[in-house]
Amino acid sequence: MVVADAIRACGHVVHTMADVFGEREQQVADQEWLSEAGRHGWIVLTKDRRIRRRRTEIEAIARHGVSAFVLARGSLGAVAQAECFVDNLDRIIEVSREHGACVYEVRATSIRRLWPDKEANER
């Protein structure tokens, strides 16, 4: 909840897996929660870098117009994860508005497109 609380403290609405799916959050297939995020226009923040390498997840991201942002280092502690996302919130919001379906890597001071990988760039 550290990441969610940090983003809420910046004035944004946050929907965690637990908020949306309750007790079954651990059993929800990635395609289902990605579909839900796309249906509501929610930006996805995750530490799962493999999301861009799995065909079913990329198909769900593309089909539902999801903007997903993945930490470059998933091994960061919760506070460092929160700082990384919060420090890049303006970039994340701007890119999600401009590009729709995409996967970006989030670093300490920048974001970089991972998918679609054509025209990959850093902001």
pLDDT tens digit sequence for 107-119: 999 999 999 975 5
Asked if the structure places residue 26 within a domain, the reply is yes
Instruction: Write out the residue range of the structural domain in which residue 78 sits.
Output: 2-115
Q: Give the pLDDT confidence of 49-74 residue by residue, as tens digits.
A: 888 888 999 999 999 999 999 999 87
Asked if the structure places residue 13 within a domain, the reply is yes
Q: How is 10-26 classified by DSSP, letter by letter?
A: TT-----HHHHHGGGGG
Which residue, chain included where needed, has tokens 């593309």? 62
Give the Cα separation of 113 and 7 in Å (integer): 22
Structure tokens at 115: 């998918």
Asked if the structure places residue 6 within a domain, the reply is yes
Give the Cα separation of 62 and 91 in Å (integer): 20
Give the Cα separation of 89 and 10 in Å (integer): 9
Asked if the structure places residue 121 within a domain, the reply is no
User: Which residues sit opposite 44 in a β-bridge?
Assistant: 68
Q: Where would I find the H helices in the chain?
A: 2-9, 17-21, 30-40, 55-64, 78-87, 89-99
How many structural domains are present in the chain?
1
Q: How large is the average pLDDT for residues 61-89?
A: 94
Asked if the structure places residue 67 within a domain, the reply is yes
Asked if the structure places residue 41 within a domain, the reply is yes
Q: Beta strands 102-106 and 44-46: pairing type?
A: unpaired
Structure tokens at 77: 């502690």
Give the Cα separation of 65 and 67 in Å (integer): 7
pTM: 0.91
Asked if the structure places residue 42 within a domain, the reply is yes
Q: Give the pLDDT confidence of 14-54 residue by residue, as tens digits.
A: 999 999 999 999 899 999 999 999 999 999 999 988 888 88
Asked if the structure places residue 122 within a domain, the reply is no
